[in-house]
Amino acid sequence: MRHLPPLTANQLAEIYDREPTETVRRLLFEIHRLRATIMRADQIRKMIGSGGSAYVAGTVWECFERELDAEPCITDRPTPRQQKRIDQHMYRLDEWRKNGRKS
């Protein structure tokens, strides 16, 4: 599944301005929370990445681990819709393997 291009903070604000509903507000808070996790990952990347030291401050790393451990996308079971797509993909993969990679 291809992803749409990421939305900027301004684009997200414009979406809320067009649809200032509680549902959109809740979705934007979830997006904000996920963006905070990405910013923490970027902070860690800068600490260990190109030109940086291999040291990551313990508090930064511990916070990042807690954030990841709390992510539902890591622990949730697939929704029925997701499971259907997984099953379809696995069926095609099995057919591909059985038929010598023809499909």
Rounded to whole angstroms, how far apart are CA atoms 62 and 40? Answer: 11
CA 19 to chain centre: 24
The two tokens of residue 58 are 């313990």
The per-residue pLDDT for range 23-54, each reduced to its tens digit, is 999 999 999 999 988 988 888 878 777 555 56
Label residues 3-15 b or e (16+ Cβ within 10 Å = b): eeeeeeeeebeee
pLDDT computed for residue 103 by the predictor:
46
The per-residue pLDDT for range 50-98, each reduced to its tens digit, is 555 566 777 878 888 888 888 888 888 889 998 999 999 999 999 998 8
Rounded to whole angstroms, how far apart are CA atoms 58 and 61? Answer: 5
**Can you give the pTM of this predicted structure?**
0.64
Q: Which residues contact 7 (CB under 8 A, 6 or more apart)?
A: 15, 31
Mean pLDDT of 15-28: 96
